[in-house]
Structure 1
Amino acid sequence: MPLHLLPAPPAALRSVLAALRSPTAARHPGSAPAAPGGTHSRLQPELPLPLHEMTSFSRAAGSSATRLTGWRFLLREAEAPAGSFPPAAAESVLTPDGWAFGYFCGGPYVPSTRRALQQAESLTEDFQPRLLSVPQLYMLTLWLHGDTGADPAQGTPQPSDLLIPLAPAPPGIAAHRPHRVDALLPLLTRRAVPAPLMRTPA
């Protein structure tokens, strides 16, 4: 089914477009090289995805808390055919003063995001795609939210939502395999939240 991609905030998109024209925009190590002239002007943003970060786990409740940290745009060469794997991504971050360009990034998560989106398009259910970062586990997933009309800046993973871990995934977690949240979240919680120490009776 087609994914319900929502538009990014206009200010977030503008920050990325300005950075693509700038010779001094920040780049992470491993990101795509600048175009001739010192800019990324041959790259175009597409497929904006809200990026959420998992901020806490609750072992007792089997739940989690998340917050929106930015919007990530996959970038493609202007001459590249639609659907080709992107060479890089750009991120706009939310600051106290509004949306601002964060950085360009490359590495395996970029093509893995495009591959996961292609996987999601083959599913029979309708979803709103998001990205969900689990920094405690150095993990990034494509989060397929079942409420397609939800505000992309709000919400937490629901039990029936799907998570597709991007490659490289943590050991023991299969990348590019859709997992229901209620099946994967307990595993993530056990890894992220240390078990309480047993007390020796006095």
Structure 2
Amino acid sequence: MPLHVPPAPAPALRSVLAALRSPTAVHEARTPVAVRRSQHSLHPELPLPVHEMTHVGRPAGSAPTRLTGWRFLLRDTAAPAGSASVGAAEAVLTADGWAFAYFCEGPYVTSTERALQQAGSLPTAFQPRLLSVPQLYMLTLWLHGDPGADAAQGTPEPSDLLIPLAPAPPGIAAHQPHRVDALLPLLTRRVVASPRLRTPV
């Protein structure tokens, strides 16, 4: 079933488009080579709100999360149809509004595309989001069960699905969909078993 990709805030999209037109932003040392080479033919698409789980260990439906940004996959419009994204761009909310943060590449970009394809083949409609779990250095595709929800709000509900992106933490299978109420206890056990991962109170 098609995913209900939420629209990104217009200022967030504009900040990414402006960065793609900016030689300064594109030619920074940390900008991926593929982005530099394809600068003038790149188009941001599939915007995903990025939420951060600020504390592992709360029950499903009450685990606190906060919106940290919007990530856009970057498609090279000059490449053959069906080509993979060459990278991603992220916008973050600042005191002055939405601002471009950085370009990135790497396994999470490819893994995000794969997870979105997995999600699109599911029989239920979902709203896709990204959920970061910093305590475990983990990123997941969060499939929220209310396709019409405000993408900037909410916490993972028990029946929502999480697809861990690769590379996933040891003992957690990447690209294996899990219900939130099944995966959160596993994440909690991993944090409890590793004191260095615990968040100071």
Q: TM-score, normalized by length of structure 1?
A: 0.88
Name the counterpart of 1:19: 19
Contact preservation (8 Å) 1:32, 1:106: no
Higher Cα Rg: structure 1 or 2?
1
DSSP 3-state at the match of 2:23: coil
**Helix, strand or coil at the partner of 1:41:** helix
Partner of 2:32: 31
1:199 maps to none
Superposed counterparts of 1:166-177, under 5 Å: 166-177=165-176
Tell me, which stretches of 5 or more residues in structure 2 are unaligned?
196-201
Q: What SS does the corresponding residue of 1:91 show, helix, strand or coil?
A: strand
Q: Report if the CA contact (8 A) 1:28-1:104 is conserved.
A: no
- Write the distance in 1 (CA, Å) between the matches of 2:98 and 2:182: 34
Alignment correspondent of 2:140: 141
- For 1:35 and 1:195, locate their aligned partners in 2 and report how far apart those are by CA, in whole Å: 40
Matches for 1:174-193 after TM superposition, within 5 Å = 174-193=173-192
Q: Which residue of 2 aligns with 1:43?
A: 42
For residues 43-192 of structure 1, the aligned pairs below 5 Å read: 43-58=42-57, 61=59, 63-192=62-191
Deviates more, 1:155-164 or 1:79-88: 79-88
- Looking at structure 1, the residues matched to 35 and 74 of structure 2 have their Cα atoms a distance apart, in angstroms, of 12
Aligned to 2:3: 3
The residue type paired with residue 50 of structure 1 is P
Q: Structure 1's 195 and 167: CA in aligned 2 closer, same or farther, altered over 3 A?
A: closer
Q: Which amino acid aligns with 1:9?
A: P
Count of paired positions: 193
Q: Is the 8 A contact 1:72 1:91 kept in 2?
A: yes
What SS does the corresponding residue of 2:183 show, helix, strand or coil? Answer: helix
Unaligned runs of 5+ residues in structure 1 are: 197-202
Report the aligned-residue RMSD.
2.0
Quick check: 61-70 or 136-145, which moved more?
A: 61-70
